[in-house]
Amino acid sequence: MNVLKKINFYTALLCAKTVNHLLHVFHRAGTSLPGVVALKIRKDFISFVNYYCEKSIITITGTNGKTTTAGLIAHILKTSGSNVLHNEKGANMLSGIASSLAVNYKPFSKFDYAVLESDEAYLTKLYDYLNANYLLVTNLFRDQLDRYGELDTTAKKIQEAIEKNPGLTIFLNADDPMLSGLGKNNKKIFYGFENIEYRNNSSESQSPMEAVMCKCKTVLSYIKRFYAHIGQYFCKNCNNNHPNPDYNAQAIIYSDHSEIFLYKDNQKFVTNLVGAYNAYNVLSAISLAMELGIENEIIQKALNTYKPAFGRAERMEIKGKKILVQLIKNPTGASEVLRTVNTNESQKLLIIINDKYADGRDVSWLWDANFELLKNYKNEIVVSGIRAYDMATRLKYADFPAEKIKIIPDIKESLDYALNSISENSQLLIMPTYTALLEMQKILK
C-alpha cells in the first residue's frame, strides 16, 4: 500500500472510529454506520485486509449458520494464540463488514487471520476488494425470496464470486446437493455426516423438503436424509452423486450438548451447541481448523469455551430466569430449531415475528415451517412482533389450542410478560426474526 493510499485509509478509519464512538456516547444503535462512512471516504476500504493479514483470509457464506460457523472458526484460531480480525456481530453486507473491520482493527498493526462472514448476495461485491484464501459454504435454502429469488440464482452469485478469486480453497457441505457444482476449477474440501442420531427427546419429524432437481433435470433420491434436502443423495439418471467427504463424521444430539465423532484420526469432539444444523456448523469449523493445522486439543478447548453470538443458541440469565434465544428466519432454520424443543420440559415459548427489510417482507415462509411440532406443547405460547397475528393464525392451523396462544405485539411487553410468568426453575425459549432480535438485544442490555 503506497503512502497516499495509507493516508486515505487511515482518514477513513479515523472517521469510522469517531462515528462509532459517538454512537456509543449517545447510546444509539448503528452497527453499519461507521462502515457506511468509511466506504464513502474510500470505496475500497475493505481492501486493507489484503495488506495487513499475514496468514490467511477466511470467508464464510451460505443461508443458515454463517454467524455461528464464523464465530467458531475465529474462536478456535484465537484459542490457538493467533491474532484474528472478525466481523463477530454478524453484520454481513458490505457496509456491515466495513463497519466491523473499522471498529475492531488496531491502527498500524498486523493480524494473522481475517474471518469474515458474508451475505450470499454480497460475496461477489466483497471479492471485488478481497483476495481470500478460503471460502466455506454452509448450505443453501430458500430464504427471503422477495430479496434473493430461487436457489439456483443464489448459487450462481456465489459462483460468480468464486471466479473473482481463482486461488480459493473451498470447503463445501457434502450433504447439500445445491453446492456440488461450485468451484469446478478450485481445490475443494468436503465435510459431511455418515449418520445423525437424536437422544434429546425431541421430535424425529424432519423439516419439510421440496424436490431437488439434478443438473440432468431428474429428481434426486436419498439413501439418508437428515433435514430438508440435506443428506446422502444420488441421481438415478446420471453420475451426480453424493461426494465422499474429506471430513466424514457421526453426530449424536442430546438436549444440552452434541458429540461429533470424526472418522479422520478417530477423534471425538463435544460441543454445547445442539441440533443437527449446529452439528454441521461445528463440523465445518473443525474441518477448516484441522486443514490449517490446529491441534485437536486446541479445537476442543475452543469448543468448551465458545459463547454463541447473540440469538444464535445463546443462553443467558435475567433476574434469575434462564433464557435461550434461537434466531429463526426461514422454513428450514425454523423447523430445525423447533425440533430441539422438548414438549415435556417446563418452559415457556415466545415467538417474535417482524417483516422489516432485513427479515424479508414475505412472511409466507411461516406456512412452510413445521410448526405442527408444537401441537402437543403443554404450555402457553406467547407471540409478538409486527406479524404477531399471522404467527397466532399459523399456530391455530398447526392444531395448537387457540386458548393457549397469548398475543402481545409489543416486544418489550411480551418479554416482560413471558419472564414474569415463569419460575426460576423454568426456561424461556425465544424465537425471534432478525430485526426482532436486534430490538430484544437493546431491551435486554
Residue 145 pLDDT class (50, 70, 90 cuts): very low
Report the C-alpha gap between 340 and 114 in whole angstroms: 32
What mean pLDDT is predicted for residues 307-319? Answer: 82
Report the C-alpha gap between 218 and 360 in whole angstroms: 31
Q: In this predicted structure, what is the pLDDT of residue 399?
A: 95
What mean pLDDT is predicted for residues 286-304? Answer: 98
Residue 189 pLDDT class (50, 70, 90 cuts): very high
Report the C-alpha gap between 283 and 126 in whole angstroms: 25
Q: Which residue bears the cell 485509509?
A: 9
Q: Please give the residue that has the higher pLDDT: either 299 or 378.
A: 299
Q: Please give the residue that has the higher pLDDT: either 204 or 280.
A: 280
pLDDT at 93 over 70: yes
pLDDT at 208 over 80: no
All 3 cell numbers of residue 383?
A: 407471540
- pLDDT, tens only, 2-39: 888 899 999 999 999 999 999 888 777 666 899 999 99
Report the C-alpha gap between 222 and 397 in whole angstroms: 30
Residues 6+ apart with CB under 8 A from 113: 53, 55, 56, 57, 58, 74, 77, 82, 83, 84, 85
- pLDDT, tens only, 424-438: 778 899 999 989 998
Q: In this predicted structure, what is the pLDDT of residue 29?
A: 63
pLDDT at 385 over 60: yes
Report the C-alpha gap between 64 and 179 in whole angstroms: 14
All 3 cell numbers of residue 208?
A: 419439510
* pTM (global) more than 0.75: yes
Report the C-alpha gap between 171 and 153 in whole angstroms: 20
Q: In this predicted structure, what is the pLDDT of residue 146?
A: 43
All 3 cell numbers of residue 136?
A: 466455506
Q: In this predicted structure, what is the pLDDT of residue 206?
A: 57
What mean pLDDT is predicted for residues 258-286? Answer: 94
Q: Which residue bears the cell 451447541?
A: 273
Residue 143 pLDDT class (50, 70, 90 cuts): low
- pLDDT, tens only, 40-74: 999 999 999 999 999 999 999 999 999 999 999 99
- pLDDT, tens only, 399-432: 999 999 999 999 999 999 999 988 877 889 999 9
Q: In this predicted structure, what is the pLDDT of residue 74?
A: 98
Q: Are 261 and 196 in contact (CB under 8 A)?
A: no
- Let me know if 295 is exposed, middle or buried by CB neighbors in 10 A (0-12, 13-18, 19+): exposed
Q: In this predicted structure, what is the pLDDT of residue 204?
A: 52
What is the Cα Rg of the chain in Å? 22
CA dihedral 371, 375, 379, 381 (to 10 degrees): 30
Q: In this predicted structure, what is the pLDDT of residue 359?
A: 87
Residues 6+ apart with CB under 8 A from 294: 76, 77, 80
Three-point CA angle 78, 81, 84, nearest 5°: 40
Above pLDDT 90, what percent of the chain?
A: 67
For residue 57, list its beta bridge partners.
114
Q: In this predicted structure, what is the pLDDT of residue 148?
A: 41
Helix (H) or strand (E) holding 302: helix 296-305
Average pLDDT, the chain: 90
What mean pLDDT is predicted for residues 77-105? Answer: 92
- Let me know if 30 is exposed, middle or buried by CB neighbors in 10 A (0-12, 13-18, 19+): middle
Report the C-alpha gap between 127 and 133 in whole angstroms: 11
Residue 127 pLDDT class (50, 70, 90 cuts): very high
Q: Are 136 and 58 in contact (CB under 8 A)?
A: yes
Looking from the CA of 440 toward its CB, the CA atoms found within 13 Å total 30
How far out from the chain centre does Cα 317 lie?
A: 23
Q: Please give the residue that has the higher pLDDT: either 69 or 445.
A: 69
Report the C-alpha gap between 409 and 432 in whole angstroms: 13
Q: In this predicted structure, what is the pLDDT of residue 274?
A: 87
Q: Are 385 and 357 in contact (CB under 8 A)?
A: no
Q: In this predicted structure, what is the pLDDT of residue 256?
A: 83
pLDDT at 203 over 80: no
